């Protein structure tokens, strides 16, 4: 089996991470509810607010989506890093130096 590139493995982990666990779903929902509350508190949920300044109304949603993407990117990168480190540690063979100075694989 041909080994996938690091980028392909990262994308696989990132996309699989977008199907969150129950704990992460709760976190996502809380962020979205928090954004709704923030928008409501600042009066940016009305159609008039969107007409006056669309970017002021859209910015909190963009920031929340950016934050969620950043979270999943870091999570995928850390997972891939741990996987690579485990692979490297398994690949290292301990060796013994005999009295004649030549290494010998164990």
Domains of the chain: total: 1
Contacts of 79 (CB under 8 A, 6+ apart): 13, 17
| C-beta separation of 64 from 31 below 8 A | yes
Local structure of 46: helix, strand or coil: coil
pTM to 2 decimal places: 0.69
Residue 53 lies in domain: 20-75
Per the domain annotation, does 61 fall within a domain? yes
pLDDT the model gives residue 87: 78
Q: Is residue 9 part of a domain?
A: no
Residue 44 in domain:
yes
Structural domain includes residue 100: no
The pLDDT of residue 7: 87
Poorest-pLDDT segment among 14-18, 43-47, 101-105: 101-105
Residue 90 lies in a domain: no
% of the chain exceeding 70 in pLDDT: 79
**pLDDT tens column, 31-80:** 999 999 998 898 888 888 888 888 888 899 999 999 999 999 999 999 99
């Amino acid at each position: 089996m041909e080994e996938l590139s690091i980028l392909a493995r990262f994308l696989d982990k990132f996309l699989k991470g977008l199907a969150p666990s129950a704990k992460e779903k709760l976190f996502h929902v809380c962020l979205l509810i928090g954004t709704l509350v923030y928008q409501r508190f600042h009066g940016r949920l009305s159609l008039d607010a969107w007409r006056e300044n669309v970017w002021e109304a859209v910015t909190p949603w963009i920031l929340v989506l950016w934050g969620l993407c950043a979270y999943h990117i870091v999570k995928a990168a850390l997972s891939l890093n741990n996987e690579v480190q485990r692979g490297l540690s398994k690949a290292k063979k301990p060796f013994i130096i005999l009295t004649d100075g030549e290494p010998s694989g164990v």
